[in-house]
Structure formats: C-alpha cells, structure tokens
Chains A and B, each alone.
Chain A
Amino acid sequence: MTRTAATHLDAATTTLLAGSLRALFAANAGPDAVATGLAELGWDEVLAGDPAAATTLLFTEHGRALATSRALDGVVLAELAPWLPAASGPRAVLHPHPADGDDLRTPAGPLRGLLLGALDGVAEVVVPTGPADAARLLVVPAAQVAGSAAPAGGFDPRSGWLAVSGAAAAPATTSVAAASAWTRGLAAGRRALAAELLGVCEAALALAAAHTSGRVQYGRPIASFQAVRHRLAEAHVAVEATRSTLDAAWAAAGAPDGGAWAARVAKHRAGSAQAEVMRHCVQVLGAMGLSLEGDLHRYVTRAAALDALLGGHLWLAETTGTALLDGAAVDPVVEI
C-alpha cells in the first residue's frame, strides 16, 4: 500500500468524515440506508485513497454508534472478489460460526455460519469452506440460504445477525479454490473488527468517564477516587494497546498474505481489551451499569458479540500460542 500526500486523510478531513459517519449511523435506518449513505459520501473514493485510515474510521464510528450493517461483508468481499466469477448482483458473506473457530465447514457439508443481516436485495452469498489451509469459496444463490436463516439471538439481541444452519449447497454451486483469498479476506475482516471493537470500547469508556465525573458520593465526584479512576486509566491503556496493534496490522497489510499474522494479533488484542474495558466500566457504573435503563449493557453485549466474530480472543490466544510454539514466523514490527 502506498500512501501519497494527495489522498492521505488529514486531520480536518477525518473530523469532517467522522461527523458524517456519526450522523449516518445515528439515523439507525438499517443496512441498506448505511450502504446508500456511504455511496453518497463517495466512500469508495475515500477508501481507495487511504484504505487504512478510511477503514479504521468507518468501523470505529460503526462501533461507537453500535450500528448494524453489512459493511464488514464489503471489506471481506473486496479481498475475495478477484477470485470469484462476476457477480449477478449484490453479495453477502456467510461468516464462520463463532462456535467453529477457524474450522471451516467442508464444501459438501451443511451450510452453517452467520449473516450480518437479512438478505433482502442480496443476490448471492459467498461461503468460505474448509479446510482452512485449502479453503474453497462457494457462491450460493441467496434464496438457497435465506430459508435456513434465523435470528442469531445470543448475547446481543440487537446485532441483527442471522444464524444459518441448513442443507448442503446445491451441487451446481460455483466453488473456487481460494485459500490465499480467504487468508486475505479474514485478515481484512479482522482489522475492521478490531477497529469496530475500538469504537465500542471508546464509547463505553467515555460513558463511564462521564458518569463517574458527574456522580457525587461522599461529597466528591467518584472519578476523583483512585480506586475508580485507576480502573478507567487501565481501560485506556488496553484501548491504546489495541490501537497500536491495529496500526501495526495496517502497516503489515501490504504483504502477500494480507498481513494475516498482524491482523490476527490485532483482533486478539481488541478482543481481550473489550473484556477488560467492559469489566472496568461495568464496575464503576455501579448498579447503573447493570440496569437496562442505562446504556452500558448495549456496549457490553455488542463488544462480546464482535469479539466472537472471526475468532474470539480466547480462541485466538490459544491458536496463536500454538502457532508460536510451532515456530510460526512472526512478522517483525514494520518500520514506520
């Protein structure tokens, strides 16, 4: 990836775009409205000019607003597209089911996974299938998938995600060998999700900071007690550690494998950060952190759901540890 001064997002443009994205997500009008809004912003051009900054900005704001859309599909599909036949219409991705880790279903097995939203207006669903080191991509007509999709429910009922569990894809389905494509798509998706988790964490931390600064006990704001403020400072450190691994992941994204290792580390760090940030925020909000009348629970559940997508942090920790012990070639930190 080459950045040039002409297209690099400067601070003023970033602020402007962040404002537009916030307005777009605040409208909460659903995935199609988000797609239309992004097109109106000329997002493709922004993205082409500075993929790292644009993607991170988009997903951070997506997370901050607790928005739901198929933006993540767009990121993954951008990497997969060169390997796929021409699309007959809009596409979606059937993401691996969180319970399956990196173990993709076999091409002949039943379809199983997560959709980020309903398939209205979608023509085809792209399904990564295993084994992971020799992945094949199936292109399945949306109608074949829609019938076996049901609300995913689970920890975050507002995610809008659908769980698919159904019959095998029809034999005539397009199937392409695309191991390296899936590696790149997964890396891109993980970078986007790390940014989204950053946004959710930052918003929760801001909520906790505002609450503890305004809430007075013993005659003083509770944020002035070290027991409270130190928790929030630790949460901030976790957020900054995540931001750093994400920046490093983008610096490595130009590698032939799409910077897979650094993206995995960033998603892992983002996942463990959300666990830590939410634990601290819930504690300092006291009973208000537990009540559905407050907003914090939305961040807690969304962060946990996003953590589970494309590899939860515990699962990533264990598989990363295994890879390290097997002598995985760790990307050197890229010179900046």
Chain B
Amino acid sequence: MPPESSNAIDAFVAEVREFLGASATRRTDHGAEIEWGRGEDRITYFSEDPPEVDAAKAAAAQAWQRTRYEGGFGWITGPPEYGGRGLSSVHDLVYDGIEAEYDVPDTGVLSLIGLGMIGPTILAHGRQQVKDRYLRAMYRGDVIACQLFSEPAAGSDLASLETRAVRDRDAWVLSGQKVWTSVAHHAQIGLALCRTNPDAPKHKGITAFLVDMSAPGVDVRPLRQMSGGAEFNEVFLTDVRVADDHRLGEVDGGWRVALTTLMNERASVGGEGAGPAARAVSLPFLAALLRANGRLDDPAARRRLAELHADQAATEYLNRQAVRRLRAGGQPGPEASVSKLMYAQNLTRGAHFAAEIVGPRLIADTGEWGTYAWNELLLSTPALRILGGTEEIMKNILAERVLGLPKEPGIDTTSPFRELRRSGQRRSGQRRSGHGRSGVTG
C-alpha cells in the first residue's frame, strides 16, 4: 500500500476498534489453548438446530448486521449511494481481522449467499429501482437473499433448467421447482433463473428475476441431510408473479447474470474459514485429539498432520491473495476453483483423519467427549464437494480454462433447448409439446 494511505488505515483501525469496543465484547477464547473435554461436544458444519433456535440465530445475525451498518461497516467496499463506505479491500480485510477478536453473532445466513453473491449480482445487473430498493436493505440486515438456481433436472448442467417464466403484460409468471436452496426458509428475496425461450439454445433462453419469497405461489420445504442438518430446501414456484422491473439483465440474457453469481459463489465457498468445523480440523485441536487418544508417537499420524498443516496454510494464503485481488476490483477467475477444491479437500481429510483416530467410537455413541461428535462433520463433508459446483465441474473448468485442454465433444450448446435430451425424459427422440414438466421430479 502506498505510504500516504497508511495513516488512513490507522485511522480506520481506530474507528473499527472504537465501534467494536462499544458494540461487542471481546472473545475470551481467542487464541486460547484447546481444552480437550470441555465445551460443547458437537462438531457441526451445517446448522443442525431445531427451527426455533435456527430462527433466533438468524435474527441475531440480522441484528448484528444492522449494528454494523449503523456503525458504518455494513458494506465497507460498497458504493456510498447504496449504503456502502466506498473503501478498499484492505479496509474490508482489516475489519474482518479485528472483528474476529470479538464475540459477535455468525452472519453467514446473510453474508454467504446474499451479501457475498446476490448483492454483487444486483449491483452489476439490477435496474435502478431494484438497486435502490434492495441493496441498502440487504447490507443493513433487513433482507436475506437466496439463490434459486438448481433444479431436480438441472444440477451441474445448470443451463438445462426448466422453470418457466411467461410474460404477462408488465409482469412475468414463474412456475417450476428449485432445489438445494440454502437459507430459503429465512429469505425475503430469491434470485431465480427461468426458461423464457425454449426455442433458443439452452444458454440463450434464460432470464434472471428477483422473486419476493412471500409472494403467493412460493412454497419452501426443508430438505433433511444425512448429517442431521436441514439447511437446504426445495422451493416450489406456482404461477408466481414478478414485475418486469425485478428482472436482472436482458430478457434471455440471464446466463450472464448467473455467471456473476457463480464466480462469486466459488470465491465465497472456497474462502470460508471460521466456524466449529474449521476449529475442529485446526492443528491444535487435531493435536489434542492425538494426545487424548495416545497416538502422539504414531509416525503415520504425524505425517498426515503435517500434510494437513501444509494444505491449510496453502489454502489460507491462496484465499487471502484471491480476496485481495477481488476486493481491489478484479473479477473472480478460475483460481476460485482451486480454492474451492482445496477447501473441501482440507475439511474432508481432517474429518477422515479424526475418524481413523476415534475408530468405532465414531459409529457407536459411547458418550466419550470428542469421539462420536465427529460423525456430524464426517457426514457433512461430502456436501462440500458438491455444493457451489461439484468437484467434477471444478476440474473441468481448470482443465479447459487454465490448462487449455480440449472440450468434451458432443456437448450440445447450439440446438434449441426443447430438442435436448433431459433427465427423466425417454430416449426415443420424442419431442415434447411445449416445455412441460415431464423432467421434474418431487
């Protein structure tokens, strides 16, 4: 950073400390030694709270985001006309670093999807009235946003989505089913991708809309995971009316909008760091696990611990550099796929490492602290290798865009969408009348 700005940073640090000192209490466990056998015996990745606790945590997140906003830290890098501070990436990093010393509510319910992905998408593609109406409200904590992208028949191949949007005067009527929708049960708005032109090639007949999640015809149902959590949902859209001014981007230009969201998603998933899972696979915690299980002298365990350490250090530094580039105005690139793969790999290897140490006590709950608790993380890690783009898709991206390898032949990007074979459809080359629901399950 140029020397003339270091005074400005010092002033910002003082401002942040003053704000946090007045609004929050310092963590007592920050940087503290691991005390094996004390504290809550749970290692969660996804929220596994009963609905009332889940709702209370979301409310606490919203309240804290409002406090941040009122203190001038709700959207540090955002444009001032939408409630942002218009400051640099460095300020944002500085704020995060200092806030980590304080005991404040986890705001992931707002930030991971809404503020991290949907907000930048609205800023880039929304019309003036939509930006005015939602951006400030989102970064003030009033509005939680979700991403209505995946469908039962459109997962990795997102562009084959079937939810329809049909124009009706100055509005659109949306019908279809979305799935794997994080935080939909808390959300006030959702960014929905819909098929608006089935006669165009699949990427060229999609339009993006901002949907009011309380509108008639929106039905959110939880999906329970094998880990016990229910963070994802199915969202059914039945003749949901959306005003045309809530369209993002051009009619049939929704794929461009989606790419903005998806690149921010990879950056966001790969860049996660805090939480009980990160603490559980941290070196001090795993070392305590080995000590408690009498495995300090196991050379294989030592080697794996060092490997985890090296990969965690690599991922952390990679993320810091990526965040720095992003917040300095760069676009997320294929390197976000590297971060995403490494992040999932680190948590997966950490969970497997622990599973091997605790052995059968992972399966049978013996009541012993720090043993059965690992099962939640172990059963959650497969989701990390799927959500935000599967590992197979990430590797394809790296193969084509970074290594320059040839594309897979036979992937049809030019035929009209209605002529493509889709999941759940019979192979006989039959054509559908219209672009109906035959591919949709559930």
B369 at the A interface (CB under 8 A) = no
Main secondary structure of the interface of B (DSSP, over half): helix
Q: How far is the CA of A222 from the CA of B315 in the complex (A)?
A: 30
Chain A residues with CB under 8 Å of B399's CB are 223, 229-230, 232-233
Of the listed stretches A62-70, A125-133, A317-325, chain B binds A317-325
Q: Which of B306, B315, B400 has the most CB of A within 10 A?
A: B306
Chain B residues with CB under 8 Å of A314's CB are 303
Interface residues as binary, A310-336 with B (CB distance below 8 Å gives 1, 0 otherwise): 000010111011101101001001011
A224-B407, A333-B320 known; A236+B311 contact, CB < 8 A? no
A229-B399, A237-B341 known; A209+B405 contact, CB < 8 A? yes
Chain B residues with CB under 8 Å of A205's CB are 403
B294 at the A interface (CB under 8 A) = no
Interface residues as binary, A183-227 with B (CB distance below 8 Å gives 1, 0 otherwise): 000000000000000000000010001001100000011011110
A302–chain B nearest beta-carbon distance, Å: 21
B317 at the A interface (CB under 8 A) = yes
Chain B residues with CB under 8 Å of A325's CB are 287, 290-291, 296, 302, 305
> Are A336 and B321 neighbours in the complex by a CB distance under 8 Å?
yes
Q: Which residues, 396 to 434 on B, are CB-close (under 8 Å) to A?
A: 396, 398-400, 402-409
> Are A229 and B320 neighbours in the complex by a CB distance under 8 Å?
no
Interface residues as binary, A241-273 with B (CB distance below 8 Å gives 1, 0 otherwise): 110110110010000000000100100110010
B98–chain A nearest beta-carbon distance, Å: 12
> Are A233 and B395 neighbours in the complex by a CB distance under 8 Å?
yes
Which chain A residue lies CB-closest to B286? A324
B283 at the A interface (CB under 8 A) = yes
Chain A residues with CB under 8 Å of B301's CB are 321
A234 at the B interface (CB under 8 A) = yes
> Are A268 and B287 neighbours in the complex by a CB distance under 8 Å?
no
Q: Which of B398, B400, B402 has the most CB of A within 10 A?
A: B398
> Are B409 and A230 neighbours in the complex by a CB distance under 8 Å?
no
A213-B405, A237-B338, A333-B320 known; A230+B395 contact, CB < 8 A? yes
Interface residues on A, range: 35 or more
A262–chain B nearest beta-carbon distance, Å: 8
B392 at the A interface (CB under 8 A) = yes
Chain A residues with CB under 8 Å of B314's CB are 240-242, 244-245, 248, 269
A233: which of B97, B316, B403 is its contact (CB, 8 Å)? B403
> Are B303 and A317 neighbours in the complex by a CB distance under 8 Å?
yes
B342 at the A interface (CB under 8 A) = yes
A320: which of B290, B306, B320, B341 is its contact (CB, 8 Å)? B306
> Are A321 and B311 neighbours in the complex by a CB distance under 8 Å?
no
B377–chain A nearest beta-carbon distance, Å: 20
Which chain B residue lies CB-closest to A216? B406
> Are B406 and A221 neighbours in the complex by a CB distance under 8 Å?
yes
Q: Which residues, 284 to 330 on B, are CB-close (under 8 Å) to A?
A: 287, 290-291, 296, 299, 301-307, 309-311, 313-318, 320-321, 324
> Are B290 and A244 neighbours in the complex by a CB distance under 8 Å?
no
Chain B residues with CB under 8 Å of A242's CB are 314
A223–chain B nearest beta-carbon distance, Å: 4
Which chain A residue lies CB-closest to B301? A321
B335 at the A interface (CB under 8 A) = yes
> Are B405 and A224 neighbours in the complex by a CB distance under 8 Å?
yes
> Are B303 and A318 neighbours in the complex by a CB distance under 8 Å?
yes
> Are A247 and B317 neighbours in the complex by a CB distance under 8 Å?
yes
Chain A residues with CB under 8 Å of B305's CB are 321, 324-325
A245: which of B310, B321, B324 is its contact (CB, 8 Å)? B310
B306: which of A212, A248, A318 is its contact (CB, 8 Å)? A318
Chain A residues with CB under 8 Å of B290's CB are 325
> Are A321 and B396 neighbours in the complex by a CB distance under 8 Å?
no
Which chain B residue lies CB-closest to A236? B398
Q: How far is the CA of A232 from the CA of B402 in the complex (A)?
A: 11
Given A226-B408, A229-B403, A230-B392; 12 other pairs, CB 8 A cutoff: A213-B405, A224-B405, A236-B338, A241-B314, A244-B314, A244-B318, A248-B317, A265-B310, A318-B302, A318-B303, A324-B287, A324-B306
Instruction: List 27 A–B pairs whose Cβ atoms lie within 8 Å, in order of A's numbering.
Output: A220-B406, A223-B399, A226-B392, A229-B403, A230-B392, A232-B405, A233-B394, A236-B403, A237-B338, A240-B318, A240-B335, A241-B314, A245-B310, A247-B317, A262-B313, A265-B310, A268-B306, A272-B307, A317-B302, A324-B283, A324-B306, A325-B296, A330-B283, A333-B320, A335-B93, A335-B320, A336-B321
